[in-house]
Structure 1
Amino acid sequence: MKTESISQELKQLEKNLQTMIAAENPILYSAAEQLFNAGGKRIRPAIILMIAKLINKEHNISTEQKRLAEITEIIHTASLVHDDIVDNCDTRRGKGTVHTIFNNKIAVLAGDFLFAQSSWYLANLNNLKVVKTISKIITDFAEGEVQQGLKSFDNLISIQEYTEKSFYKTASLIACSCKATAMLNYDNNSKENDFYLYGKHLGLAFQIIDDILDITGSTESLGKPAGLDLKNGNLTAPLIFTLIEKKELPKIINREFQSQGDVLKAITLIKQTNSIQKAKDLAEEHIQLAIHILKTKYNNKDNRDLISVCYHVTDRIN
């Protein structure tokens, strides 16, 4: 992913994040800092900064848009802290998760603290439309977790239900933050909708690729255990496509992968079909829709970085 055009802004973002999550309680601060120190590509704030440059006539990024990029990363980080507890994930990006280093209680409080900090900085943007748009993300996170919980180990789940859950859990954050970036440009509403759709399709593709990697990747490459989604009853696109072809798969799901080797057996069944390719094709559809928006409405050299983000998402499995 090309980030040269916003390299200085990303460096400043790293410094600002440390200041923004400062807390008087050393344990709370240490828990929140733990996840930031684990690294990450900062894809979400990078997208915001790129959009800000693209839609501004002078290619400047406003102070409010830079702050929005920081807020978005804090919200994303808060969601990861809570996700890791729900999913019983002991490692992330190859390092121990907050709840394994401290405990569940501290991790929940650290996540809540990050959500609270993001809300405070969001309110200080003094833009009610942006506040409403970004606040919806946190509601969507909860909706996504509930939907995922209700469909846990449910072998009747459809691709439509999977896509809806994926929107709430992943795509909403990218879609709403892209929309809010356009709002902060004080231009017209058409740009807001364009970048909402760009973020939505990019986010859905990102989640599908993540779910493919859970099947095809190694613990070392993922930075967390492979097959964790299956183990937790989170049935994703590759498995849903396989259910149509492999009649023994529902039996394994119904016993909730409790027998020894069940997760490996399910992964083997998935790989015996063309389900991974079908999932890739689904992700590619969303990527092409995102690129189409950029090429038809913002077709100039300044859209190259945002298009490179699209290709970066699918390149993760090549």
Structure 2
Amino acid sequence: MEEQLDPFSLVADELSLIGNRLRAMVVAEVPKLASAAEYFFKVGVEGKRFRPTILLLMATALNMPVPRSPPDVAVGTLSTELRTRQQCIAEITEMIHVASLLHDDVLDDAETRRGVRSLNFAMGNKLAVLSGDFLLSRACVALASLKNTEVVSLLAKVVEHLVTGETMQMTTSQDQRLSMEYYMQKTYYKTASLISNSCKAIAVLGGHTAEVAMLAYDYGKNLGLAFQLIDDVLDFTGTSASLGKGPLSDIRHGIITAPILFAIEEFPELRYVVDQGFDKPAHVESALHYLGRSHGIQRTKELAAKHASLACAAIDSLPKSDNEDVLRSRRALLELSHRVITRTK
């Protein structure tokens, strides 16, 4: 029986270091902009730091002999310098993530985020948009300091994907709205691209082979997809207190997610309800009625579990190692993929 691993506590010290650095990085000349930019980096509101945790664990999980390690550098200095650079990826990822949340909340007219008032409600849409832009610019400066063109292009692509995914969500035709393929593509852009490309960047900075970098990418991609699919389930089954947003927020915004798409396959008449829109409570009730009779929730959970097991398979395919820290971090990454699909909030 293996010890129960808490992935977050394994990197707790580094997470607080990264938290402090993030707060220092978002200081701005204009006080109003600074207080807006640090809104979600404040202690207590910073969330679980899910993405930085994955990236730090990935950095350790890949901490194995590198094929082209410079022979003349003492291993000690190399590894600490590399670790600092990999921590920088975690900081950049978190800034991009928070910037996208600030922008999304404006687009969605959201009133709360992480259980507190959303920035757009606290300070207005204009400042919220500018704060998101400011965070992205800080992320760019940090990215440039790494002086690695492949890493820069990986994370620049992420920002493009976030915009693409959000635009896909806003500008769907009726057929696209009801296409599972379109929905998964949008989900990759909006949720999974950030974590998959950041994981890949961790491997690239570590000088790993293309194969290892691809396994890191596959882990992040599948974990991200599983995470979002469970989010979609919780939107129907969770309570607003545990989610930090009102339940049914997607459907009320007219966003059709996996549970409804699966339900339509079983009850084609649900498509007519969806086409009517969800402005009227009766339409929401009707959709929930069909969803309840269908296997939509169950099938979404099964799809999430499939992606979680693909994430685990990527970790299991990494080159063998007998280093205890490496093995512990790999177990923690497996544990995270389990937590993603069993979480209730």
- 1:310 lines up with 2:337 in the alignment: yes
TM-superposed CA distance for 1:130, in Å, is 0.4
- 1:50 lines up with 2:50 in the alignment: no
Identity across aligned pairs (percent)?
39
TM-superposed CA distance for 1:260, in Å, is 2.7
Aligned length, in residue pairs: 318
Report what 2:16 is aligned to: 11
Report what 2:70 is aligned to: none
Letter in 2 for 1:71: I
TM-score where L is the length of structure 2:
0.87
Match of 1:243 among 242, 248, 264: 264
Match of 2:123 among 79, 95, 102: 102
TM-superposed CA distance for 1:22, in Å, is 0.9
CA deviations 1:175-205 (Å, max 9, x no partner) are 0000000011013221111111111111111
TM-superposed CA distance for 1:155, in Å, is 7.5
TM-superposed CA distance for 1:7, in Å, is 1.5
**Are the equivalent residues in 1 in contact too, given 2:176–2:182 (CA < 8 A)?**
no
**Are the equivalent residues in 2 in contact too, given 1:153–1:234 (CA < 8 A)?**
no
Change (3 A) 1:267 1:33: farther
Change (3 A) 1:307 1:74: same
Report what 2:100 is aligned to: 79
CA distance in 2, matches of 1:107, 1:188: 40
CA distance in 2, matches of 1:221, 1:268: 23
CA deviations 1:56-95 (Å, max 9, x no partner) are 2388661100111011001000000011111221111111
Moved more, 241-250 or 146-155: 146-155
Report what 1:274 is aligned to: 295
CA distance in 2, matches of 1:145, 1:155: 14
Letter in 1 for 2:9: E
TM-superposed CA distance for 1:272, in Å, is 2.0
Match of 1:66 among 70, 77, 87: 87
Change (3 A) 1:53 1:155: closer
Report what 1:137 is aligned to: 158
- 1:24 lines up with 2:29 in the alignment: yes
CA RMSD of aligned residues (A): 1.9
CA distance in 1, matches of 2:263, 2:131: 38
Superposition pairs for residues 118-197 of structure 1, below 5 Å? 118-151=139-172, 157-197=178-218
Structure 1: stretches of 5+ with no match in the other structure: none
CA deviations 1:281-308 (Å, max 9, x no partner) are 1111111111011113256633111111
Moved more, 33-42 or 295-304: 295-304
